[in-house]
């Protein structure tokens, strides 16, 4: 009567229950570990977009570097596995595309990460004082 400890049946039941419950706990944990790199990729993509936007924003409105162009890949990237494009387009006062210069230019910088997620950064510059 005064014996302490577990019986063989109790140990077998414990092992079976652990075998059932552990995978249910491990699967969500591994999924969250896999997704933990996403915030770093987002931060890197936004950094690259801001980097290019700052480069473009240093020019004044009439600078030829800010003439409207189609989307263009930028290959001299300091960080690998990312692609970026930029577009400069004329727009009107309502931010609609314009075929002529109405005093506004929209700059779009688009960065694509290694999982093909796209991040876009917009800026508008004006020719008015």
Residue 121: give its domain's CATH number.
Answer: 3.30.1300
Summarised one tens digit per residue, pLDDT across range 28-47 is 877 777 766 678 888 888 88
pTM (two decimals):
0.64
CB 93 within 8 A of CB 104: yes
Q: Is residue 96 part of a domain?
A: yes
Q: Is residue 23 part of a domain?
A: no
Lowest mean pLDDT among 24-28, 78-82, 106-110: 78-82
List C-alpha distances in Å: 50 to 38, 120, 121.
Answer: 18, 10, 8
d(CA 88, CA 103) in angstroms, rounded, equals 13
Per the structure, how many domains does the chain have?
1
pLDDT beyond 90 at 49: no
Q: Quote the mean pLDDT of the chain.
A: 83
Residue 128 is predicted with a pLDDT of 76
Nearby residues of 104 by Cβ (< 8 Å), 6 or more positions away: 90, 91, 92, 93, 95, 98, 124, 125, 126, 127
Q: Which residue, 78, 91, 81, is CA-closest to 52?
A: 78
pLDDT beyond 70 at 20: yes
Q: Count the neighbouring beta carbons within 10 Å of the beta carbon of residue 109.
A: 23
Q: Is residue 4 part of a domain?
A: no
Q: Is residue 73 part of a domain?
A: yes
Q: Is residue 15 part of a domain?
A: no
Q: Is residue 56 part of a domain?
A: yes
pLDDT beyond 70 at 72: no
Laid out side by side, the sheet with 69-73 consists of 69-73, 83-91, 104-112, 118-126
Q: Which domain holds residue 58?
A: 42-126
Q: Is residue 116 part of a domain?
A: yes
d(CA 53, CA 51) in angstroms, rounded, equals 6
Tell me which of 29 and 118 has the higher pLDDT: 118
């Amino acid at each position: 009567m005064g014996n302490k400890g577990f019986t063989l049946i109790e140990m077998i039941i414990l092992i079976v229950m652990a075998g059932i419950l552990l995978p249910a706990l491990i699967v969500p944990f591994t999924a969250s570990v896999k997704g933990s790199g996403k915030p770093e990729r987002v931060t890197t993509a936004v950094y690259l977009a801001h980097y290019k936007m700052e480069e473009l924003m240093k020019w004044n409105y009439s600078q030829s570097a800010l003439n409207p162009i189609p989307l263009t890949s930028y290959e001299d990237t300091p960080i690998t596995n990312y692609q970026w494009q930029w577009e400069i387009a004329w727009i009107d006062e309502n931010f609609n595309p314009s075929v002529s210069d109405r005093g506004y230019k929209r700059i779009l910088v688009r960065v694509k990460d290694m999982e093909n997620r796209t991040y876009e950064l917009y800026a508008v510059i004006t020719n008015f004082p």
